[in-house]
Amino acid sequence: MKKCYLSLLAAVLFCYNSYGQFFFDVEVDTVWLPETVVMPPSPLKYQVLFVGQSDKVQTTATNGNAAGEALAKQWHDFIGFTPDSESDDLGWISVNHEMIASNDSIGDGGGMTVFKVRRDPNTDTLQVVEQTLSDGRNGMFFNVDFANTVGETGMNCGGITSPVDGRIWTAEEWYRTSNISISRPDSEGRPVGVRDTSNYTITTDIPGEFAGATIEKFQNFNYMVEIDPREAKAIRKQYNWGRQPFEGGALMPDNQTVYLGADATPGLFTKFIADTPGDFTRGTTYVYKHDLNDSINGNWVEMDNMSLDEMLYFADSALMEGATMYNRLEWLTQYDGKVYMSETGRDNIRDRFEEGAAMGGVLDYHWLEPVRARHPNLEAKTDDQVIDFVRAGFYNDYYGRVLVYDPATDEVETYLNGGPFYEESPEVGAYPDKHLTNPDGLNVMVVNGQPYMVINEDLNGTSNARVPAGIGNRTCEAFLLDMNKANPTVNDLVRISIVPVGAEVTGAQPTPDGKTLLLNSQHPSTDNPFPYNNSLTYAITGWDDAVAAITAVEDQVTEVEGLKFWADHVQRVLRTSERVDMALYDVMGRRLRVVRNVTEVDVHDLQSGTYIMRAFGHESNKVVGAKFILE
């Protein structure tokens, strides 16, 4: 899997890095050089598990059509995992489809697919398991039935995986404001999204003003929705958590407290505390207000989650209570009692915060550091003046960040800022070795007892060094961060995957045993070769062996006449101690590639074998040569 993923990016980089021969000959003498750089095999294994618009899902009787099968929907986003404690199988994988589309068999609106996997005893990779559900459906992939249970869903984006029992919620993102916005008529006025826009009558076991209430169809979108992955059907929409453009959430180990984020500007941070652990039909809903300091509820304002109107217009009600405003809160995850959130950022905030502030919303002080770093002229300004600068829309939040909420202090702080920021995008050769733009998907993977944060990118744009100058593709990457590092920065990130041209990387769901990481490639370019022209779910297995190798890679140094090389066999990258121009040749002396002004060279696509490497160090002004063995 990695081979195609990385080669697509490499094709872009090599296109912009290759400037002819430089001082490298087209052929070199094949006499072996005295120094040797060795790259052992990678412990990681890559596999495609599920491909949208290619794999078929088993469907229920829907829209007057008999049960059968249909091609799976596209735009894979959230991945949930539910362990199987009753057999030798590993568990169920749940995949969201972040789109609104008409489908007679699957149901209109968004969608979700579930499938079961076991671990291959010989390779440790995953195998999809054939199943028969209680409703009679038999196969490998199953459409989650929303249409016959809770009404359609729209833009199934992020979600929640319970750390207690693997319960799954899917988030309906992209806030809907009218029936037209869910029906998405084409140029001739024909609906290509949700076709039935008649009023919807709520059926639910949640107490309050919900059951039996009739609402407009679009108002039945934008909730967290619980599903049963074992039976591939929806259970309930959480009307008592409010109607918001949800993207992520995190259920705490108490099986009672849920934290939620809304992908909007202003976006709100909310929580729900169940009266009884495991029963999320009854409890109290709150919105975060960082400056409240209430003697009973701390920095949380209680909302009336029995009121239909307050839950339908949750954001308006919360802002009027003075809620703290964020710039697109997306995924949430929890670890060691704390909640981590990706605040993905947005170019041109314009009047969005001003409108929220006019209703009563407030901004907190995590903005001070990134704003002052970008705008040195604000150093002499007071904290409140800097906040006013942000609220007025003068700060373009190109990069975003990861936030952390600590229930012990009841405060939200910045955990990791994106960046580095550039006014103008540098050329490929001068592009920063480490960078993070618009963090989105977020999770924690525990490997051999050690926690690592997995961060997925979703680039909002390509300007200001989100990609190098001259490259228009929004190439998104996934990163690993050792959570034992105090005050982490972008320099602590380790890139672990790149998705094909045009795609967003998302999902970030580890299996409970810490061996496999599940990821999605969402909406890639249709010009890519199959299957990478479709949204797909892929697995990277072997982290229990790979993590130690990643962290120790810089201890495995080969020095050639003062120039140092690290053969990073996990990521299949040859790293150097300074920027170099490098050429690689086969054993016949034929030049295979030339790259210029880089500190790493991707060699994943080369076959195992022996090569000749020649490099010119820009600082040392030396040309060195070595034998390069790729095992």
Among 24-28, 67-71, 239-243, whose mean pLDDT is lowest? 24-28
Q: Decide: helix, strand or coil at residue 603.
A: coil
| Tens of pLDDT, residues 175-194 | 999 999 999 888 888 888 99
**Average pLDDT rounded to a whole number, residues 362-369:** 95
Q: Which residue has the tokens 């490997």?
A: 447
Q: Decide: helix, strand or coil at residue 381.
A: coil
> What are the respective helix, strand and coil percentages of the chain, to the nearest 5?
15, 40, 45
Q: State the pTM of this model.
A: 0.92
Among 22-26, 95-99, 245-249, 595-599, whose mean pLDDT is lowest? 22-26
- Give the per-residue pLDDT at 552: 59
Residue 150 has pLDDT above 80, yes or no: yes
Residue 271 has pLDDT above 50, yes or no: yes
How many Cβ atoms are within 10 Å of 410's Cβ, its own excluded?
A: 16
4 pLDDT band (50/70/90 cuts)?
A: very low
With contact defined as beta carbons under 8 Å apart, do 147 and 107 qualify?
A: yes
DSSP 270: E
Residue 121 has pLDDT above 90, yes or no: yes
**Average pLDDT rounded to a whole number, residues 255-259:** 98
14 pLDDT band (50/70/90 cuts)?
A: very low
Beta-strand pair 573-585/591-602: antiparallel
Alpha helices, H only, 154-300: 179-183
Among 188-192, 279-283, 315-319, whose mean pLDDT is lowest? 188-192
- Give the per-residue pLDDT at 15: 30
pLDDT, the chain, mean: 91
Q: What is the CATH number of domain 2-43+557-630?
A: 2.60.40.3080
DSSP string, 85-112: SSSSS-EEEEEEEEEEE--TTT-SEEEE
Residue 50 has pLDDT above 70, yes or no: yes
- 188-226 core/surface letters (b: 16 or more CB in 10 A; e: else): eeebebbeebeebebebebebbbeebebebbbbbbbbbb
Q: How far apart are CA 219 and CA 208, in angstroms?
A: 17
| Tens of pLDDT, residues 126-147 | 999 999 999 999 999 999 999 9
**Cα–Cα distance list, 393 to 45, 370, 418 (Å):** 45, 14, 19
Residue 292 has pLDDT above 70, yes or no: yes
**Average pLDDT rounded to a whole number, residues 351-378:** 95
- Give the per-residue pLDDT at 473: 78
Sequence-separated (6 or more) residues with CB below 8 Å from residue 188: none
Q: Indicate the domain borders of the chain.
A: 2-43+557-630
**Average pLDDT rounded to a whole number, residues 329-356:** 96
